[in-house]
Chains A and B, each alone.
With several copies, the nearest count.
Chain A
Amino acid sequence: MQPKISVRTEPFDAAAESAALTKGRADIGALVSFIGLCRDEGGALAALELEHYPGMAEEEMARVAQEAARRWPLMGLTAIHRSGRIAPGEPIVLVIAASGHRAAAFAAAEFMMDYLKTRAPFWKKEWRRDGTAGDWVEAKDHDDAAMERWREPGKRGE
């Protein structure tokens, strides 16, 4: 199982990525997809600007994917992260995990997201509707906590 990792500016086609994982095989019982979207709760956001560390972003995503593949019996794993300006409602990140059974697929997809959030070198800057630059999005403690729980014994689906 070779994970597919990609960083790119253009949108992704989640359905096509899912189809690529399942095509021509009948051993996959569970496919879990996560799509992270640009959210605007206050109505003042024009876009998020996603900056990344070229080279390291892909390498770190690949390291996380290899760790997921080591932990769970996966038949497919795709992670695509966009960079550049992304408007509210648009997709930012896609993770798809395929496995024989649902527990492994759910756990692997959530593990990927928890690790990508805190280990993949991406940063979000807000741009406001009035054309001015907003703040850099701050990292959240609960994201670190979400990652840490995968270090505990008795991890899910393993």
Chain B
Amino acid sequence: MKAVYFAWVRERVGLTDEEIAPPADVRTVADLLAWQIARGENYAYAFENAKAIRAALDRKHVKHDAPIAGVREVAFFPPMTGG
């Protein structure tokens, strides 16, 4: 699964994207956020406030309870400020 990061999530993680291989018990976006936090200080910093993190699965907005099974690309980013 490819993970992509934007804005201050990207800056805090220190990567624009990476391949990730979460274990089988990581089933939802919320699970994935918890798993990411345990991966290191940069991830803990990026994802410390789960409420401030938006997610997209294969380029579609999802809520944190969305299942990640079969997803090729997961994106994490702050609330959008375009326009």
Contacts and interface: CB of A to CB of B under 8 A. Distances in A.
Q: Do chains A and B touch in the complex (CB under 8 A)?
A: yes
Interface of A: 36, 50-53, 55-57, 59-60, 81, 92-93, 102, 113, 116-125, 136-139
Contacts of B82: 50, 52, 57, 81, 93, 116-117, 120-124
B80 interface: yes
B83 A139 contact: no
Nearest to B83: A117
A49 B7 CA distance: 10
B2 interface: no
B74 to A, nearest CB: 12
A79 to B, nearest CB: 10
Given A53-B4, A123-B7, A139 B81 contact: yes
B8 interface: yes
A51 B79 contact: no
A55 B81 contact: no
A117 B80 contact: yes
Contacts of A113: 83
A26 B59 CA distance: 34
Given A53-B75, A121-B6, A139 B80 contact: yes
Interface string B64-83: 00000000000101111111
Given A53-B4, A53-B59, A122 B78 contact: no
B58 to A, nearest CB: 9
A135 B37 CA distance: 23
A120 B75 contact: no
Contacts of B83: 36, 81, 92-93, 102, 113, 116-117, 120, 122
Contacts of A137: 81
A72 B41 CA distance: 48
A56 B59 contact: yes
8 contacts: A52-B82, A59-B59, A116-B82, A117-B80, A119-B80, A125-B7, A136-B8, A139-B81
Contacts of B26: none
